[in-house]
Amino acid sequence: MPNTVPENSVGIVTPQCLHFDEPLLLRSGKSINSYDLMIETYGRLNENKTNAILICHALSGDHHAAGFHSEDESKPGWWDHCIGPGKPIDTNKFFVVCLNNLGGCAGSTGPSSINPDTGTFYGPDFPVVTVRDWVKSQVALMEKLEIKQWAAVVGGSLGGMQVMRWAISYPEKLRHAIMIAVAPKLSAQNIAFNEVARQSITADPNFHDGRYLDHGTYPKKGVMLARMVGHITYLSDSAMRDKFGKAAEPINSETIAGNFGRDLRTGKLSFGLNVDFQVESYLHYQGERFSERFDANTYLLMTKALDYFDPTVDYDGSLSAAFANSSCRFLLMSFSSDWRFPPERSREIVDALLEAGKQVSYLEIEADQGHDAFLLPVPRYIDAFTTYLQRVSDEVNL
């Protein structure tokens, strides 16, 4: 944390662990009899309980979306650019709820928790959870918090898919659905990248069929590899040229670096199998850091939830039919350089909403940062997000 808490930060926050005893019947047919959800909240719930916003996290996110857990924490929560006083999701106006999804590894019940039935780690026995199951558990959370309707449910990427599920399955429980950098379902290319990530984890000799915790070990290399390949898909070509092309003079614009992002790590080639380029060392660092905090089985579960998501399965493949009962208003935003979930994928959702006769706004934000842009302070994105939620606040804070 900086020496003093920045004015537009929610400051020091403390997570809470909520316990649920109602069994949760999962999409797979299995069920979880009881579970914990780790949550964080920012801002204050108004008297009529109308100003609550639910944040749904993406693949590697958790409940820690904003602020700092302690003065020693070097980086704030994952969506600190968008949550805080005066930020798009303004904690002076909204009561913000963020959770770690079921199957996660940041405190909510997941593969690295102890299975009460066996007294050992769930590991690979933890059931496959889907977006639908997560949203079901989020409804239970909503009831525990005695919130009748969300002012908005908000999420980017896999988080946006949860927002979609809310709008389809629980239409009366939200006023606004805000989906950022999202797709209606994964493409073959998306699934292919996920499979490479899964294979790199399961092929690690330390994986032990998912029972690595029982063996007192961890498939660190596998998780690193999975994260490295994932990370490449979050960035754009131009973002990488920019990030790793600092040694070169820009040719004609501030974004395209003259050496294609080929900055060397030490200034010369090694002519061996060493890390020569900055981009390599960056990916190693990102993978390394990630593998220190993220559970391998959780990563497998999250990628499966992504692969399985398809809101049209119950509607003969029609996305507009899926939205037929939705009554909330929709805001979608996509980013020009996002090749993981490119703008066309958001347009599919927008078009389905138009066909279904729904109220929808859509912005295609020019940004170089790729899929990651939704986490970053892209000016037009932040401005539109702020403006939209200002209207929502005017509606719910009477």
Q: Which of 83, 179, 197, 350 forms a contact with another protein (CB under 8 A)?
A: 350
Shortest approach of another protein to residue 320 CB, angstroms? 9
Q: How far is the CB of 383 from another protein (least distance, A)?
A: 7
Question: Does residue 359 bind another protein (CB under 8 A)?
Answer: yes
214 is catalytic: no
* Residue entry with tokens 């199998």: 273
Q: Mark the segment that binds another protein (CB under 8 A) among 17-25, 76-84, 111-119, 345-353.
A: 345-353
**How many residues contact another protein, by CB under 8 A?**
20
The stretch among 41-49, 55-63, 232-240, 354-362 that binds another protein (CB under 8 A) is: 354-362
Binding status of residue 282 toward another protein by CB under 8 A: no
Site for another protein, residues 310 to 339, rule: CB under 8 A: 329
Question: Which residue among 157, 334, 337, 346 is the active-site one?
Answer: 157
**What minimum distance in Å lies between the beta carbon of 382 and another protein?**
12
Local structure of residue 64 (DSSP, 8 states): -
Q: What is the DSSP letter of 250?
A: B
Binding-site member from 148, 215, 293, 380 for another protein (CB under 8 A) = 380
Q: How many residues in the chain?
A: 398
Instruction: Identify the DSSP state of 329.
Output: E
Q: Which among 114-122, 131-139, 156-164, 355-363 is the span making contact with another protein, rule CB under 8 A?
A: 355-363
Q: How far is CA 116 from the centre of its chain?
A: 28
Two tokens, residue 39? 């949550």
CB neighbour list of residue 367: distance below 8 Å, 6 or more residues apart: 335, 336, 337, 338, 373, 376, 378, 381
Output the DSSP codes for 264-302.
BSSSS--SSSS--BHHHHHHHHHHHHHHHH--HHHHHHH
Cα–Cα distance measured from residue 147 to residue 165, given in angstroms and rounded to the nearest whole number: 18
| 363 is a contact residue toward another protein (CB under 8 A) | yes
Q: Which of 338, 346, 368, 372 is catalytic?
A: 338
Q: How far is the CB of 381 from another protein (least distance, A)?
A: 11
Stretch that binds another protein, among 37-45, 113-121, 209-217, 361-369 (CB under 8 A): 361-369
Given 63, 64, 81, 371, the catalytic residue? 371
Stretch that binds another protein, among 158-166, 293-301, 353-361, 367-375 (CB under 8 A): 353-361
Type of residue found at 374? F
**Is 42 near another protein (CB under 8 A)?**
no
Q: Which residue in the block uniquely carries the two structure tokens 């959770």?
A: 99
32, β-bridge pairs: 24
371 is catalytic: yes
194-223: contacts with another protein (CB under 8 A): none
Which lies closer to another protein via its Cβ, residue 288 or residue 364?
364
Q: Please say which residue, 80 or 90, places its beta carbon nearer to another protein.
A: 90
* Residue from 303, 324, 322 nearest 311 by CA: 322
**Selection from 20, 19, 214 nearest residue 122 by Cα:** 214
Burial class (CB in 10 A: 0-12, 13-18, 19+), 13: buried
Which positions ≥6 away from 328 have C-beta within 8 Å? 167, 171, 174, 175, 176, 177
How far is the C-alpha of 50 from the C-alpha of 94, rounded, in Å? 9
- In whole angstroms, how close is the CB of 391 to another protein at the nearest point? 5
Figure out which of the listed residues 121, 323, 362, 374 binds another protein, where binding follows CB under 8 A: 362
Q: Is there a contact between 331 and 178 (Cβ–Cβ < 8 Å)?
A: yes
Report d(CA 308, CA 185) in Å as an integer.
Answer: 8
Quick one: which of 95, 121, 122, 388 contacts another protein (CB under 8 A)? Answer: 388
Q: Which of 247, 354, 376, 382 binds another protein (CB under 8 A)?
A: 354
Enumerate the active-site residues: 157, 338, 371
Residues that bind another protein (CB under 8 A): 329, 347, 350-351, 354-355, 357, 359-364, 380, 383-384, 387-388, 390-391
